[in-house]
Amino acid sequence: MRRIKYRDEEYLVHTRSGMRLIDALVEQGVPVTCDCDGRAHTTEQCLVQWPKDTAFLLTEPTEFERRQLGDRLEKGHRLACQALFK
């Protein structure tokens, strides 16, 4: 179980290796939706705050996340559609 902050609410989610963070949230009933393509366009509806002390559990930010989030990555923000559990 991992604690994730999404839209100012905290959720505990079950995770599995290779799973996308967004899928873990949806599986727990968190209403995450998005109308972006995850490559060139985002409305950031899947933006989450992941605890920095457990950042090692997720894959490195993708180029898309780096471009979209910039300095927010340092604060633990991730796009849940891009981050995978290792």
Q: Taking the complex as a whole, how short is the minimal distance between the CB of residue 46 and ligand FES, in angstroms?
A: 3
- Residues near ligand FES (CB under 6 A) are 34, 36, 38, 42, 44-46, 79, 81
Confirm if 17 and 8 have CB atoms less than 8 A apart: no
Number of other residues whose CB lies within 10 A of the CB of residue 56: 7
For ligand FES, give the closer residue by CB, 36 or 73. 36
Partner residues linked to 77 by β-bridges:
49
For ligand FES, give the closer residue by CB, 28 or 45. 45
For ligand FES, give the closer residue by CB, 24 or 79. 79
